[in-house]
Amino acid sequence: MGAPVEQVINLIFGRWRSQILAAGTELAVFDRLDTTTPRKAPELAAAIGLDAALLYRLLRAQAAIGLLVEDSSGGFVLTQMGDLLRTGHPQSLAAMARLEEGPQHYALWKHLPAMITDGKQNAFVREFGHMAFDHAKADSDYSERFDQAMSSYSAAQSEQVLGALRGTDLSGVRVFCDVAGGHGYMTCALLNAYPQLSGIVLDLPEVVADRDSLWARKLELESRCRYVGGDMFKDVPKADAYGLKMILHDWNDEECVAILENIRRAAAGPARVFIMEHIVPGPDTPHFAKLFDIHMMCWGTGQERTDAEYTELLRRAGWRKVASHHAPNSIIGVIEGACG
């Protein structure tokens, strides 16, 4: 940490860094590089169809923020950080960069002061005329960015969820339903970790229709995993345990209670629910959840919540809170509820 003036300057120019990074993912520059063989701007520019002189300046800036290393003859290789921005990396963060710094999410942030002024949490409506999931139906570029980002980010998050659940007895669970589970990465991670499980992934029909992106297919787990296209506000499949990863933070309290009540009714018997979210800690702890909360303010009707706030949502929907699970140094926590 430098002096306060340097720290504030770094904060002011933070967006420059994320845009410099995201331009590399947008142009698929990182996919043309590796960690060992230096490549120069003219060679890359010819391969991708870019301007060599301007590309050189972008690569140099990416080296300045630790994504690349430049050698004395102008050749570039990926650092470990830059390697994570290749689309082929097993824990690739490229799709998340394309979403968060892409044109739709970028446009939302300018509405933050106005929303806080008038107390109306609706940046998507202010910018695009409707809320995010409705906008995704009309803008295929946005839905592609969103679904791919969720799917690839899930690799890192699922590891944290498995870490948090280590030591929790799931031997009695036979059918696990991931509510709004996207392309099903986390369900597949659970199927691999718990051999007795079979999985159901519920998501919107258009999401589960994208067969090439479904993880159970890619990971050859189709015999143990079923995808269901539907609406979690209307109908949820029967299961004995349910997961909600990065779902309740999309919605306001009333919407969350409706989702949790719907799940409880679908369970039709004793069941468990696992809420997987960035849990907001107390005032003395700086945490990514407190930043993500502002993104949620811009994105939809939701928010990040404290453990006590999730406990209260569970209570209102007829569940009882059983436990909170956290892996050490993990930014995702799991809150477990039970009913019946």
Ligand X SMILES: C[S@@+](CC[C@H](N)C(=O)[O-])C[C@H]1O[C@@H](n2cnc3c(N)ncnc32)[C@H](O)[C@@H]1O
Note whether 184 binds ligand X by CB under 6 A. no
245 touches ligand X by CB under 6 A: yes
250 binds ligand X (CB under 6 A): yes
Stretch of 31-39, 65-73, 177-185, 318-326 lying at the interface with ligand X (CB under 6 A): 177-185
Using the rule CB under 6 A, is 304 a contact of ligand X?
A: no
Query: In the beta sheet, which residues pair with residue 334?
Result: 276, 325
CB of 298 to ligand X, least distance (A): 14
Decide if 280 contacts 290 (C-beta within 8 A).
yes
CA distances from 250 to 4, 117, 295 (A): 34, 21, 10
Residues 6+ apart with CB under 8 A from 217: 211
Percentage helix, strand, coil, to 5, in the chain?
Answer: 50, 15, 35
- H/E element, 48: helix 41-48
CA pair distance 232, 262, nearest whole angstrom: 7
Give the Cα separation of 128 and 131 in Å (integer). Answer: 8
For residues 59 and 232, which CB has a smaller minimum distance to ligand X in the complex? 232
**Candidate list 24, 102, 182, 302; residue touching ligand X; CB under 6 A:** 182
Q: Write down the least CB distance from residue 245 to ligand X, Å.
A: 4
Judged by beta carbon, residue 115 or residue 156, the one nearer ligand X is 156
Task: Give me the least distance between CB of 176 and ligand X, in Å please.
Answer: 13
Phi-psi category of 268—alpha, beta or left, where left has phi over 0 and alpha has psi -120 to 50? Answer: left
- Which is nearer to ligand X, 16 or 133 (by Cβ)? 133
Residue selected from 6, 54, 110, 133 as contacting ligand X according to rule CB under 6 A: 133
How many residues bind to ligand X according to rule CB under 6 A? Answer: 17
Kindly tell me which of 56 and 146 has the beta carbon lying closer to ligand X.
146
Q: Which residue lies nearer to ligand X by CB, 16 or 233?
A: 233
Q: Which is nearer to ligand X, 34 or 255 (CB)?
A: 255
Q: Measured between alpha carbons, how far is residue 182 from residues 9, 62, 104, 148, 211 in Å?
A: 38, 31, 20, 9, 12
Residue 203 binds ligand X (CB under 6 A): yes
Comparing CB distances to ligand X, the nearer of 70 and 203 is 203
Position of minimal CB gap to ligand X: 180
180 binding ligand X? (CB under 6 A) = yes
Q: Yes or no: say if 310 and 279 are a contact pair by the CB < 8 Å rule.
A: yes
Site for ligand X contains 288 (CB under 6 A) = no
Least CB distance to ligand X at residue 111 (A): 20
CB contact at 8 A, 239 and 272? no
Strands (E), 73-197: 75-78, 175-179
Q: Which positions lie near ligand X, rule CB under 6 A?
A: 133, 150, 154, 180-182, 202-204, 207, 231-233, 245-247, 250
